[in-house]
Chain A
Amino acid sequence: MNESLEKEEINKIETKEDALEIIDQDGWELIKEEKEKIESFNSKVLNIETEQQERIGNLNKTIGLSEDKLDEIKQDFSLKEKLENIKEKAKNLSGELKEKLKIVTAVGTMLIALSSGVEVSAWEAGKGEPRTILELQTSSAISKERSRENIERKEKDRYDSLIYRLNKQALTDKKESSVIIYEENGEMIIKETVGNKAYVFFEVDEIEKGIKGTKDVQIIHTHPLEACHSAQIFSICSGENIEKVRNGEIEPNPMPPSMTDIISAINLSREFGDKIKNKVVDTTGIWEFSIDKDNDFIKRMSEYQKEMINIADNFSEKKLNEDERKILQDTMEKTGTADINYLIVELKKDQKTSALGDKMMDFLDKRIDKFVKIIPREEIEDFISINSLGLDIISFNEDNKDKKGLIDKYIKINKKRGINVSYKPLGKKKEN
């Protein structure tokens, strides 16, 4: 993507979808800057070394002493050791700088992504977002007198044909779909929601009904091939790639659960427990992922996310006066969202409400400090790696061809941080 287009993208945050589209771009800008700064610093360090060589060369030519005599003086003066020591210090500075910038990038990228993690969480779904619901409730014609085996076989057939259809849709659809499967009064209920290109909401009411049943609640959503194009700023997938896949000229790539999917799963696990089973269907297969609530990272992330979700309410109760609370409530009603980022955008648009937007930013700033304090650096780095590996798996670039190796790495690093992921190519028996 060229620079002017990038700027245009950054400046056009007018809708929630726009905000979602640029999440990765902000993170990408940080990664680019980190790289540029390290390169620039390394070149300065190299200059020190070059300067040493040049000056020693000049000394040899201009000092007017024999080479042996000069060497003797150099040795007595410990010139070599002194210069080596400076070189070493410069290299250490370069290493330290690299580490520090890496942390800023990791934390920045993470926070940018997390600030949207709230908006795609299940909670918001219950707050009046417009959406289309396709209800595919099991026909009541299924006789309760039929044997349990017969019902289970039919349920399995329905499930299999659903997954088959979603797999086909992932190739052709331009929007994500989500499906919730649960049991109610002995019947399998399937509820389907059509979302947008790069996100879809889950129906909280349906999840609540589902957890009252005896079986697990399956939350499935698609990763359509089309969505990989929204990550075009990374130059990993182009419109041309999509066309070639659709024409059968090249193989599609797996599209694993995103950082947002994982954050959503952490939230679902905290609120609804172990009965939630998360699945992603892409053009190549099916990903299953569940959350280990006892993992330290999951505990910390869950706590942090809970706080992020409650920020609007807490903020409203403790930090706002009556007038400000009313403005906030009106904005929430007008926009149909409780997402902080989106609310700030809305508030800042209007001169009358922009002061409240600033106040909310200040308040959120304190949350950043808390995030950095509660999530250790190595955990942040691993979580960022999950995101990068996910993009490498999606990527059509030549240097990311070893999909199996990348998937293994992705599964391993997720496992370390309490996210149990498996991937099964559809139509094949082998499971990763």
Chain B
Amino acid sequence: MDYKNYLSKKSHEEMEKIYREYSGRLNELKKEQEDVFKDFVAQIEKIKLEEIKNRILNSK
């Protein structure tokens, strides 16, 4: 390998490293988004349960 190819290879590797790092950070954001939706659905279920509970209590 000549020096120019070596420089080129080194630059490509560096790019790949940065790209992997940022892809990893983006995946973390996707997980964060997933958690937001999970929490939201849990919140809805909680509210729905509350409503059911209230309806039962009110009907007695």
A: residues with CB less than 8 A from B are: 10, 13, 19, 22-23, 26, 29-30, 33-34, 37, 41, 44-45, 48, 51-52, 55, 59, 63-65, 70, 73-74, 77, 79, 82-83, 86, 89-90, 93, 96-97, 100-101, 104-105, 107-108, 111-112, 115-116, 340-341, 344-345, 348, 361, 364, 368
Contacts and interface: CB of A to CB of B under 8 A. Distances in A.
B44 interface: yes
Nearest to A55: B37
Interface string B11-44: 1101100110011011001101100110111011
Max chain A CB contacts within 10 Å: which of B3, B19, B26, B44?
B3
A86 B33 contact: yes
Given A22-B4, A97-B19, A104-B14, A79 B36 contact: yes
B29 A93 contact: yes
Contacts of A101: 15, 18-19
Contacts of A111: 7, 11
Contacts of B41: 59, 63
11 contacts: A13-B5, A30-B8, A41-B22, A48-B26, A48-B30, A73-B47, A74-B40, A97-B18, A104-B11, A104-B18, A341-B4
Interface residues of B, number: 32
Contact of B33 (A48, A112, A345): A48
A74 B36 CA distance: 11
Contacts of B15: 30, 33-34, 37, 101, 104-105
Contacts of B12: 29-30, 33
B49 to A, nearest CB: 12
A93 B22 CA distance: 7
Nearest to A62: B41
A378 to B, nearest CB: 19
Nearest to B9: A26
B4 to A, nearest CB: 5
B48 interface: yes
Contact of B26 (A23, A34, A93): A93
B2 A341 contact: yes
A255 B30 CA distance: 49
A10 B6 CA distance: 12
Nearest to A90: B29
Contact of B3 (A45, A52, A89, A341): A341
Given A44-B26, A83-B33, A104-B11, A26 B4 contact: yes
Contacts of A104: 11, 14-15, 18
A107 B11 contact: yes
B43 A77 contact: yes
A83 B36 contact: yes
B2 A30 contact: no
Contacts of B19: 37, 41, 97, 101
B33 A115 contact: no
Given A86-B29, A90-B26, A112 B4 contact: yes
A107 B44 CA distance: 52
A89 B12 CA distance: 26
A89 B8 contact: no
